[in-house]
Structure 1
Amino acid sequence: MTRQPDDWAMHDDGSAPTAEVDETVTTPFDAQGLRGKLTANAPLAPLVWFKTGGNADWLYEPADLEDLREFLGRLDGTMPVMALGLGSNLIVRDGGVPGVVIRLGKAFATVEARRDMVLECGGGASGILVSSRARDAGVAGVEFLRGIPGTVGGFVRMNGGAYGREVADVLVDCDVVLPEGEFVTLPAADLQYTYRHSALPDGAVVVSARFQGREGIPEEIGAEMGRIANAREQSQPLRTKTGGSTFKNPPGEKAWQLVDAAGCRGMTKGGAQVSEKHTNFLINTGNATSADIEGLGEDVRRKVYAETGITLEWEIQRVGRP
Structure 2
Amino acid sequence: MPSLQGKLTPNAPLAPLVWFKSGGTADWLFEPKDVADLQDFLANLAPDIPVMALGLGSNLIVRDGGVPGVVIRLGKAFAKVERVDEVTLNCGGGASGILVSSTARDNAIAGLEFLRSIPGTVGGFVRMNGGAYGREVKDVLIDCDIVIRSGEIATMPLSELGYTYRHSDLVDGCIVVAARFRGQPGDPQAIQTEMDRISAAREASQPLRSKTGGSTFKNPEGARAWELVDKAGCRGLAVGGAQVSEKHTNFLINTGAATSADIEKLGEEVRTRVKAHSGVDLEWEIKRIGRT
TM-score normalised by the shorter chain: which range applies? over 0.9
Residue in 2 aligned with 1:225? 195
1:16-57 per-position Cα deviation (integer Å, ceiling 9, x unaligned): xxxxxxxxxxxxxx1x41010000010000000000000000
Of 35, 42, 62, which aligns to 2:12? 42
User: Quick check: 1:174 aligned with 2:170?
Assistant: no
1:57 lines up with 2:33 in the alignment: no
SS at match of 1:266: coil
The reply to whether residue 200 of structure 1 matches residue 170 of structure 2 is yes
| Aligned 1:125-136 pairs, distance under 5 A | 125-136=95-106
Equivalent residues of 1:76, 1:179 under 8 A apart: no
1:78 CA displacement: 2.5
2:238 counterpart residue number: 268
1:255 corresponds, among 191, 214, 225, to 225
Q: Secondary structure at the match of 2:120?
A: coil
Q: What is the correspondence of 1:15-34 to structure 2 with a 5 Å cutoff? A: 30=1, 32-34=2-4
In structure 2, the residue matched to 1:302 is 272
Structure 2: how far apart are the matches of 1:299 and 1:189? 38
Question: Which of 231, 235, 238 lines up with 2:205 in the alignment?
Answer: 235
Unaligned runs of 5+ in 1: 1-29
Which ranges in structure 2 are unaligned for 5 or more consecutive residues?
none
RMSD: 0.6
Alpha-carbon offset, residue 114 of structure 1 = 2.1
- How far apart are the structure 1 equivalents of 2:93 and 2:43? 19
Provide runs of 4+ in structure 1 moved above 6 Å: none
Does 2:163 align with 1:213? no
Q: 1:85-109, CA deviations, whole angstroms, 9 ceiling, x for partnerless residues?
A: 0000000000000000000000000
Tell me, yes or no, if structure 1 residue 165 matches structure 2 residue 163: no
Partner of 1:156: 126
Distance apart, 1:116 and its partner CA: 3.9
**Distance in 2 of aligned mates of 1:76 and 1:303:** 43
Q: Structure 1 residue 180: deviation in Å?
A: 1.2
- 2:96 and 2:122 in contact (8 A); partners too: yes
- Name the residue aligned to 2:82: 112
Matched, 1:72 2:53: no
Question: Identity over the aligned pairs, expressed in percent?
Answer: 71
Partners of 2:73 and 2:43 in 1: how far apart?
Answer: 16
Return the alpha-carbon distance in structure 2 between the equivalents of residues 172 and 279 of structure 1.
34
8 Å CA contact 1:76–1:181 kept in 2: the answer is no
Task: Calculate the TM-score normalised by the size of structure 1.
Answer: 0.90
Identify the residue that residue 63 of structure 2 maps to in structure 1: 93
SS of residue paired to 1:227: helix
* TM-score, scaled relative to structure 2: 0.99
Q: Does the 8 A contact of 1:76 with 1:180 survive in 2? A: no
* 1:237 Cα deviation from its structure 2 partner: 0.1
